[in-house]
Chain A
């Protein structure tokens, strides 16, 4: 059963992209994952196809694919930059995305080329409003 907008866990200290990727700034690194809405809508995630360390992506380009029991979905990079680390645990434990999407279920760390791109992302209130269709 999917969650209602008010039931979603959307922490205030991170930013959200339109396709429900989250981004957290840590120095010049941006940590990226899927938010609670995305993992909830996708249902049980069974496979995550990751980029390789060293690959570069433009903002809004596809950097990963997520397969759930329902569908395969693309993940779009919330910022431009180079992949400096990927969460290797997801290879064997894709369920971490469902169980702990903001913690152990993170996807990649990106060395951002332009941190100002973070300003174009939504805060938690806007994100919740977009789920409600406001």
Chain B
């Protein structure tokens, strides 16, 4: 094994701001009062909140030190399954910072915002092409917001048909937010169990499908990283009974340019620009969750709609069947710009290659680690692969132990204990960003951890060792949270 990536170099410990606080210390000087003193109303006076007292350099050092503890895809491999943590090309930031875009006020009259509207219109068309659907809204602020928008569209559709329905089918391999989105729209989520191959069977859907079911919410590829092979027949079955098919696009990174979900029978689909289209994800957000629909559902999309007449772009508010407006303006425009930059940089062929490499990388990890870790479903995977801690159980080593030990080797662990249908799950999504060299080093580190599990299990029980803090007591943190300073 070559030299470890993880070191214990000059990583500084840091106290809480309250622990560093000294009475009377202050980071700013308030100018001398130059007006008459005026007493405050009694209700506004009294003891102030307990805030830390610090100088400017105390605060700067505090946050700068904390920032050195950060880990992200710009630091190293970050293979969180189900999250698509791909590299965000720096040109995205550059394009989004162009003064004409960055300085544009959302209340500019449309004739002064033609460039911005053109970007939105073009982006909508691109997403329509990628999904094989007809109309797109860019308004939702993130993935779950997109889910809710899509379900509101389905709700509005059934209302227009004159008969509202009460239930929505959700497979156990769907994304965790799906049942919540359904419930928020007033539907009851009905679980559907996946089969022994980890995908939905036509029979299991048929068993629960009736005319009170508004639709099904499918994530494809699903959270097991498997392609829903029966989706076309399932969609036909749902449509035959008047239901609609919602596709959660969280895992679109596996199928761009390969499958158009509209052709498989999906009526509504949201995308995650912060996953598939290389805009910042997680704490680096905000996100963006455009929703794509069939022509039949277009009247229900949120207002305003971006329209094009001749060479002129405009915003159309006159949509009587629309579910209404989702936010203050038109969505996260800065995020749209980044996604647009990515799309134009990659082109159609580049996006297809992206999906092919993402799937290849996941299958490479799966094949390289299959003798080390127990493979949950032994079949070709899509963009992510799932193992469990079954092989390490005889040594009393859990998924958590291996994940913590991996940190000592200088690697961020993959997603653990999700999805719930696999006990002790370990889920890798390398994405297309990682080269074979990077993957080989990560795989070697995981193999070294697995070797330790058999030879020196205590090293794993005590991990992580080479970190600022050791293994945290997550149970006490959850049972007795200390939220004050």
Contacts and interface: CB of A to CB of B under 8 A. Distances in A.
B396 A69 contact: no
A21 B129 CA distance: 49
A44 B480 CA distance: 13
Interface string B282-304: 00000000000000000000000
A6 to B, nearest CB: 15
B420 A69 contact: no
Interface in B73-97: none
A41 B398 CA distance: 13
A10 B479 CA distance: 27
A1 interface: yes
Contacts of A41: 423
A70 B475 CA distance: 10
A14 interface: no
A71 B479 contact: no
Contacts of B474: 44, 69
A71 B420 CA distance: 8
Contacts of B478: 44, 46-47, 67, 69
A67 B479 CA distance: 10
Residue of B393, B420, B479 with most chain A CB atoms under a 10 A cut-off: B479
A78 interface: no
Interface in A105-122: none
B417 interface: yes
A95 interface: yes
A81 interface: no
Given A70-B417, A71-B417, A71-B420, A1 B398 contact: yes
A44 B400 CA distance: 14
A33 interface: no
A94 B479 contact: yes
B232 to A, nearest CB: 32
Contacts of A71: 417, 420
B480 to A, nearest CB: 9
Given A1-B396, A1-B398, A69-B474, A95 B417 contact: no
A1 B417 CA distance: 14
B417 A46 contact: no
Contacts of B479: 44, 46-47, 94-95
Contacts of A46: 475, 478-479
18 contacts: A1-B393, A1-B398, A41-B423, A44-B474, A44-B475, A44-B478, A44-B479, A46-B475, A46-B478, A47-B478, A47-B479, A69-B474, A69-B478, A70-B417, A71-B417, A71-B420, A94-B479, A95-B479
Interface of B: 393, 396, 398, 417, 420, 423, 474-475, 478-479
Given A44-B479, A69-B474, A95-B479, 16 more contacts: A1-B393, A1-B396, A1-B398, A41-B423, A44-B474, A44-B475, A44-B478, A46-B475, A46-B478, A46-B479, A47-B478, A69-B475, A70-B417, A71-B417, A71-B420, A94-B479
Counting from the closest, the 6 A-B pairs by CB-CB distance are: A46-B478, A44-B475, A46-B479, A69-B474, A1-B396, A70-B417
